[in-house]
Amino acid sequence: MAVRGIRGAITVARDDKEEIYLATRVLLQEMIQKNGLSAKDLISIIFTVTPDLSSAFPATAARDMGLSMVPLICTQEIPVPGALPLCIRVLMHVDTPKTQGEISHRFLRTAAQLRPDLAATD
């Protein structure tokens, strides 16, 4: 098994606690399912949010999904002018037999423009 990083991002329509929680759950479920993972495969998860999101911690949504034993941390993206607003990004560290080329990174909603080469197409 190897430690791999899985990237993901999703946008929300507005800075709202429930919307942040829902989007985070959608993204995490997609990342876990598309990579054939379970909670025991997760090493840690780093969440970042753009400066315009301050109503909730995405890590709370992860804990509510049952990922309470996985180390989680939230931080804020640097405020680069012109950057995609209202965006939650994830870097998930996992233990997996997959090669780096077999990892399915997930960029959903408007966040697909961040990495069109990795955007979810299935």
Per-residue model confidence (pLDDT) at position 40 = 96
Task: Indicate whether 119 belongs to any domain.
Answer: no
Task: Indicate whether 46 belongs to any domain.
Answer: yes
% residues pLDDT > 70 (the chain)? 97
> Quick check: helix, strand or coil at residue 2?
strand
Task: Indicate whether 18 belongs to any domain.
Answer: yes
C-alpha 70/C-alpha 42 separation (Å) is 7
Range of the domain at 37: 2-113
More confident residue, 84 or 117: 84
Task: Indicate whether 42 belongs to any domain.
Answer: yes
For the question of whether the overall pTM of this predicted structure is more than 0.85, the answer is yes
Number of domains in the chain: 1
Task: Indicate whether 121 belongs to any domain.
Answer: no
Read off the pLDDT band of 96 (50, 70, 90).
very high
Chain segment 19-50, per-residue pLDDT in tens: 999 999 999 999 999 999 999 999 999 999 99
